[in-house]
Amino acid sequence: MQTMIEKVVHSDPVETAEKPHELSLRVTDLCKTYITDKQSLNVLRNVNFSMRKGDFVSVMGPSGSGKSTLLYTVSGMDKPTSGDVEFFGQNIAKLGENKMADLRLNEMGFVFQQMHMLRNLSVFDNIILAAYHASVKVSASHRRDINEKAKALMRRFDIIDIMDKDITEVSGGQLQRACLCRALINDPKMIFADEPTGSLNSKAAAEVMDKLNTLNREGATILLVTHDIKVAARTDKTLYIVDGNIQGELELGKYGDTGEAKTREKNLSNWLVNMGW
Ligand SMILES: Nc1ncnc2c1ncn2[C@@H]1O[C@H](COP(=O)(O)OP(=O)(O)OP(=O)(O)O)[C@@H](O)[C@H]1O
Ligand SMILES: [Mg+2]
């Protein structure tokens, strides 16, 4: 699909103004080198891929292959050593720290395995914090709007009953759904998730995936890292990364209903075995 879009852009000048904006992310020759104790480690080596708006893409690969680094680098949490990252048409690879922080807060949503929730706050307070923070001035009515929006999200994700609980008092699955609410509170253009189901049992993982699939069906663009075939089988496309390089991709298409899960898992599993997983 990527090549198709690029073909249109190059061959039809009338379309040039429109087509690039269909891309949510375009990653070009991305490299990341960590320097530690005078040693340099090339963790990402010339990574190239792109996503359109509304895509749901997963990244798989062995431990240490650079999946998290890729996610952090394309979402501006870490600076690339070289290469470009265009986020909805804007090159963010060299964006200043303040602008990048604004962009992350207002246009990106993050869900991680280590959820970085604040322990002395309730589930509800953790969710609204980012929205309060994003607003230059929070008036009483704006605060009411944020609170209502947080409650609506919590209702959708079936965690309204635990809104006043301390985050230490709820289950992993509930907490992970709270993380999703928090990621969505500022209406991000894109969601980045690093093993969002990694700490969950299979039932809770399936619940989180149900929510992500629903959000994606409604138009959300999602990039997710996972070790779990069941999770990746519910995304449109899987990228396989080894030693900081994308070795291949498998397009499964949109996940429709649970009836097709087994076939998708089998196809993905066969492909992964071929990839050397
Ligand atoms: N801040 C850092 N400084 C130095 N090296 C790092 C840093 N972050 C990651 N690395 C190294 O980069 C490599 C890739 O790490 P990364 O966390 O991206 O792997 P991963 O594919 O997400 O692995 P896992 O599946 O275990 O989560 C590893 O060798 C890791 O030790
Ligand atoms: Mg990782």
CB 28 within 8 A of CB 190: no
Residue nearest to atom 24 of ligand 1 (CA): 63
pLDDT at 21: 54
CB 241 within 8 A of CB 250: no
Q: Which residues of 165-186 are buried (b: 16+ CB within 10 A; e: fewer)?
A: bebeebebbbbbbbbbbbbbbb
**139 compared with 164, residue with greater pLDDT:** 164
How many domains does one find in the chain? 1
CA of 91 to the centre of ligand 1 (A): 24
pLDDT at 173: 87
DSSP secondary structure string, 130-153? Answer: HHHHH-SS--HHHHHHHHHHHHHH
Residue nearest to atom 1 of ligand 1 (CA): 34
From 35, 36, 65, give the residue whose CB has the most ligand 1 atoms within 8 Å, as the site to mutate.
65
Compute CA 122 distance to the chain's CA centroid, rounded to the nearest angstrom.
24
CB 146 within 8 A of CB 131: yes
pLDDT of residue 11 exceeding 90, the answer is no
pLDDT of residue 5 exceeding 50, the answer is no
Atom of ligand 1 nearest to the CA of 195: 27
Residue nearest to atom 4 of ligand 1 (CA): 34
pLDDT at 140: 84
* pLDDT bucket at 3, cuts 50 / 70 / 90: very low
191: CATH: 3.40.50.300
pLDDT at 50: 97
CA of 66 to the centre of ligand 2 (A): 7
Q: pLDDT of 97-155, one tens digit each?
A: 999 999 999 999 999 876 678 888 999 999 998 888 777 667 888 889 999 999 999 99
pLDDT of residue 12 exceeding 90, the answer is no
From 30, 31, 34, 245, give the residue whose CB has the most ligand 1 atoms within 8 Å, as the site to mutate.
34
Residues with Cβ within 6 A of ligand 1? 34, 36, 41, 43, 61, 63-69
Q: pLDDT of 168-220, one tens digit each?
A: 899 988 998 999 999 999 999 999 999 999 888 888 899 889 989 999 999 99
Compute CA 197 distance to the chain's CA centroid, rounded to the nearest angstrom.
12
Q: Give the dihedral sign, CA 224/227/229/231.
A: negative
Residue nearest to atom 27 of ligand 1 (CA): 63
Q: pLDDT of 227-269, one tens digit each?
A: 999 999 999 999 999 999 999 999 999 998 778 999 999 999 9
- Residue 151 CA to residue 178 CA, distance in Å, equals 11
Closest ligand to the CA of 64? 1
pLDDT at 116: 77
Q: pLDDT of 34-88, one tens digit each?
A: 998 889 999 999 999 999 999 999 999 999 999 999 999 999 999 999 999 999 9
CA of 66 to the centre of ligand 1 (A): 6
- Residue 74 CA to residue 61 CA, distance in Å, equals 17
pLDDT at 110: 94
Structural domain span for residue 265: 2-275
CA of 69 to the centre of ligand 1 (A): 6
Residue nearest to atom 8 of ligand 1 (CA): 69
Atom of ligand 1 nearest to the CA of 61: 21
CA of 177 to the centre of ligand 1 (A): 26
